[in-house]
Amino acid sequence: MSWPNLADLLVERDADAPIGLVGAPLATGSVTPGSCDLAPELLRKVMARIGRYDIDTGEELASRIADHGDVAIAGLSIEDATGPIRDACAISVERHDLTLLIGGNNGVTRPGVHALGLPFERVGLITLDAHFDMRETEQGLRNGNPVRALIEDGLPGANIAQIGLAPFANSAAMHRDALAAGNRVITQAQVDEHGIHAAVEAALAHVAHCDAIMVDCDIDVIDRAQFPGAPGARPAGMQARDFFAAVRALAAQPKVKMIDLCEWDPPLDPTDLSSLVAGRWLAELLAGFESR
């Protein structure tokens, strides 16, 4: 008997598919060097292990995903890779209702925001991330500074909401700068106290004035025991079930035009736990999208 799975939904560059997928195997510029460039292809492979039927809703996922392939950025710096990633994503944004940008490290987020093609006053960014990504940019672009780089590009802090910030994983200066810019900051402790749905609602309220929203899913927001394949993940991070709930809720928003997945370093996890979590991320995202 056949078992419908997510791999059934992946098609070649079909402009009629509601969702586009762009791989951005970016590994250079990481604070902790690794192999995040292996993640896009592994996500494609794990799709065959993730079913399409949601027993909780009684619905079966059906949205086709047009695979635009991986951007040719091997060995490029973040600066040099920015243009190719932006251009590939811009093509997908033009053709599809939602674009999935699969990194690679967190350096992919900035070109993703630029690819939305709107003035920054109209663009919102919601991050699920243990870190502010507000390291200084004087030494160049890194995976630890895309949010600061976007603010320096002109993205208002009033358009940025950050969920899942972890203790002992950020500096006081980054926290002060995020608040001074006007970012909505929601710590992991606040998520634990008030619930993930309240956090998502607060983030959406902060960017409600924006016309298009990008969601940055830095996988290191998840508790390291539940996602060992992320170099920046720490103990007592976000529960995987809360991460899934947040992604489903955010993907349900029509203003969300792009969602990235980044900082997954497959060799760090010799088991299949991390790949199955990433595959479930995709299923939850599709479920949210289909509820629009």
- Backbone CA torsion sign across 236, 113, 88, 145: negative
Q: What angle do CA 181, 187, 192 make, to 5 degrees?
A: 155
Does the pLDDT of residue 1 top 70, yes or no?
no
pLDDT in tens, 163-175: 999 999 999 999 9
Confidence category of residue 208, pLDDT binned at 50, 70, 90: very high
Helices (runs of H) and strands (runs of E) counted in the chain: 9, 11
Q: Is residue 276 part of a domain?
A: yes
pLDDT in tens, 211-260: 999 999 999 999 999 999 999 999 999 999 999 999 999 999 999 999 99
- Provide the domain count of the chain: 1
| Whole-structure pTM value | 0.98
Helix (H) or strand (E) holding 214: strand 212-218
Q: Is residue 223 part of a domain?
A: yes
Q: Mean pLDDT over residues 56-64, rounded? A: 97
151 three-class SS:
helix
Pair type for strands 59-60 and 53-54? antiparallel
Q: To the nearest whole percent, how much of the chain has pLDDT over 70?
A: 100
Q: Is residue 1 part of a domain?
A: no
> Which domain range does residue 188 map to?
6-290
Q: Is residue 117 part of a domain?
A: yes
Q: Is residue 198 part of a domain?
A: yes
pLDDT in tens, 112-128: 999 999 999 999 999 99
Structure confidence at residue 68 (pLDDT): 97
Tell me, what CATH number does 14's domain have? 3.40.800.10
